[in-house]
Structure 1
Amino acid sequence: MSEFPDLDGRLATISCGAALHHARLALAAGGWRVTVTRKPDAGDPAHLARLHIDGAAPVNPDTASLARAIELRHTDVRPITGGPIEPGHLRTIRAAFEAQHVRLAVLRPDQILGLTVATARADNTEPADAQWHAELALWAGSDRIAGALDDLRLPIAPGEHDRAATFAVLHGPRDQDLDWIHAGEALSAGSLVAIGLEVSILPFSAPIEHADARETLRRAVPELGHPYLMMRLGRHAIEAARVAHPPADGGADLRAT
């Protein structure tokens, strides 16, 4: 099956992929060697992954550090107020995403501007999409777009524009359920590395929720493969939190519900 039949299937699979990466990381940090089988049962499409604990293993300090960041991971919808992400840090975050079999495209200002106009003028724009449309408008400065004031559907962002934010798209060459599992694993991996660099990642599901939205995104950014998730990256203060290690005995299955 190349396409999920509904929105819930896609987003649930991304969420399960993120949970899978969390579980892999937590078990490794607890001193366990784990085998992961993705899509283990061809007769059960909802059975996304199986984890099996093979035995004890030495703990890598970097893995333990990432596992501690799981308790710090959260969604921060506040405007980006910090400085731009340093190129070296962005390369490190990109590498963490792309280690999970996906690609990360960092959007240029002209691509953001084109996407802002295209999505605002789309006939199928829904109220639920307002958050990410507003984010795009704020970053692009849509009040400076020629003709914007004549089109009431184009979001207008008054005041200062959030130029320090970075927008990126997780994408890949295929659009199958396994790819969406990897997208969720990448979301977890990239977000946890970003936490260590004091970078906040805010995912947007609206650009991939419907076929028309995905096509709009691909037209605005032609070099994309199949888009899995759009994200805003930027700097926020991070609050410290204690990490509680989960028990690591037995096995676990992940299923889309």
Structure 2
Amino acid sequence: MSTTRTTTATGTSERIRDADEVKALAEVLVTAATRAPSPHNTQPWRFEARGDGIALHLDRTRLLGVADPDGREARLACGAALFNLRLEARARGIAAATELLPDRNVPDLLGVVRLAGTHRPTGEERTLASAIPRRHTNRRPFAEEQPPEPLRHGLRRAAQLESGLLDFLDEPTRFADLARLIRSAEAAQRDDDAFMAELRCWTTGVASVRDGVPARSSGPPPLEEGLVTLRRYGRGRRPPRPYEQVPLLGVVLTNEDDQHAQLVGGHVMQRVLLAATAAGLSTSFVSQPMEVPSVKRELDRLVGSQGHPQTVLRIGYGYPALPTPRRPAREVTTGLPPVAEPG
């Protein structure tokens, strides 16, 4: 069934008339959702095309049992996927609203994006939606130059628009404290055989694999260890390269720290990432302090009354890097209409 289109002052929009049209559009929207980042590119989500919208379920078979045993980072990723889905719909002129944790009897149903009626997309929504396919984690070196204050202000604003905060730990003492925590967590994980085995499981050199972090998307080894130790992915034999000595680090914060807040944290994180991409910046994750409980408690104390940390971002001017692959929408979605046979 075709989708009715209406022309507005902002361009062509799509009007959802019935359940069949929701499902027909779902594949496009889920494709945008799956561009969200996830720990080790595990893609811990399953989507369901419904009559009134698209539901996202946590896929527990893709949780990291060592690095993320309680699913915090997985829920953050799913919150980011829900943000992409809602944003893509709105940018296409479709009214979309997200309900988080809609059914207490189905705890792995993390959210539903309901679609109905038309929406006049803003210029900002279009700009952020256009960044969805371009955003990817850049694990390669960044330039020494840091983003200026106007760009930082824009990223802080992006976090606030999703009811969160982005705290740049750029004051020398706080930066040194965070760098120490990152080095401590990285050392603990390198000494953890179970963690390293899990990391190797999701680090593949095969370009055709649709999840995990392939060697082509990993960064080269550092020429020398800097103040901040970045996670080493990949099995390639790239020559060492110098990394920036003082990266710009920002902590994504939420007011609370329950499962709902972690999903909101995913919204906050993703809006910041897309705003950074739209501004010509590169980003990557410094997840180690979130994954070692003793270090996570120290990070909580470091950010103090600002809020609850959900992830740490590295932001700057990166050299070109290749994105990680994604599973196609039809592989991760139920309820889609069958593909029409040719002829």
Whether TM-score is above 0.5 comes out as yes
CA distance in structure 1 between the aligned counterparts of 2:283 and 2:290, rounded to whole angstroms: 17
CA distance in structure 2 between the aligned counterparts of 1:124 and 1:106, rounded to whole angstroms: 24
Over 3 Å counting, the alpha-carbon distance change for 1:33 and 1:159 in structure 2 is closer
Over 3 Å counting, the alpha-carbon distance change for 1:206 and 1:55 in structure 2 is same
Q: CA deviation at 1:82?
A: 5.1
1:84-163 → structure 2 map (5 Å cutoff)? 84-107=146-169, 108-118=171-181, 120=183, 125-127=188-190, 138-139=226-227, 162-163=245-246
CA distance in structure 1 between the aligned counterparts of 2:319 and 2:276, rounded to whole angstroms: 12
Identical-residue share of aligned pairs (%): 24
CA distance in structure 1 between the aligned counterparts of 2:189 and 2:163, rounded to whole angstroms: 31
Q: CA deviation at 1:35?
A: 2.2
Greater RCO, 1 or 2 (C-alpha within 8 Å, sep 6+):
1
Match of 2:86 in 1: 24
CA distance in structure 2 between the aligned counterparts of 1:234 and 1:35, rounded to whole angstroms: 32
Match of 2:133 in 1: 71
CA RMSD of aligned residues (A): 3.4
Q: CA deviation at 1:101?
A: 1.6
Structure 2's unaligned 5+ residue stretches are 1-64, 200-218, 230-240, 324-328, 336-343
Match of 1:55 in 2: 117
Q: CA deviation at 1:140?
A: 6.3
Q: CA deviation at 1:120?
A: 4.1
Q: What SS does structure 2 have at the residue aligned with 1:138?
A: coil
CA distance in structure 2 between the aligned counterparts of 1:123 and 1:205, rounded to whole angstroms: 9
Match of 2:52 in 1: none
Over 3 Å counting, the alpha-carbon distance change for 1:47 and 1:116 in structure 2 is same
Residue by residue, what CA displacement relative to the aligned partner does 1:89-111 show, whole Å, maximum 9, x if unpaired? 10001110221122111102211
Contact 1:22/1:70 (8 A) holds in 2 = yes
CA distance in structure 2 between the aligned counterparts of 1:95 and 1:67, rounded to whole angstroms: 17
Instruction: Write the letter of the residue equivalent to 2:178.
Output: L
Q: What SS does structure 2 have at the residue aligned with 1:20?
A: helix
So what's the TM-score if we normalise by structure 2? 0.56
Q: CA deviation at 1:31?
A: 1.1
Over 3 Å counting, the alpha-carbon distance change for 1:54 and 1:118 in structure 2 is closer
So what's the TM-score if we normalise by structure 1? 0.74
Q: What SS does structure 1 have at the residue aligned with 2:245?
A: coil
Q: CA deviation at 1:13?
A: 0.5
Count matched residues.
220
Structure 1's unaligned 5+ residue stretches are 142-157, 242-246
Instruction: Write the letter of the residue equivalent to 1:17.
Output: G
Residue by residue, what CA displacement relative to the aligned partner does 1:178-210 show, whole Å, maximum 9, x if unpaired? 111011111111111111211112122221124
Q: CA deviation at 1:252?
A: 9.3
Residue by residue, what CA displacement relative to the aligned partner does 1:184-238 show, whole Å, maximum 9, x if unpaired? 1111111111112111121222211243221121234434432110111111256
1:202 to 284, 293, 300: 284
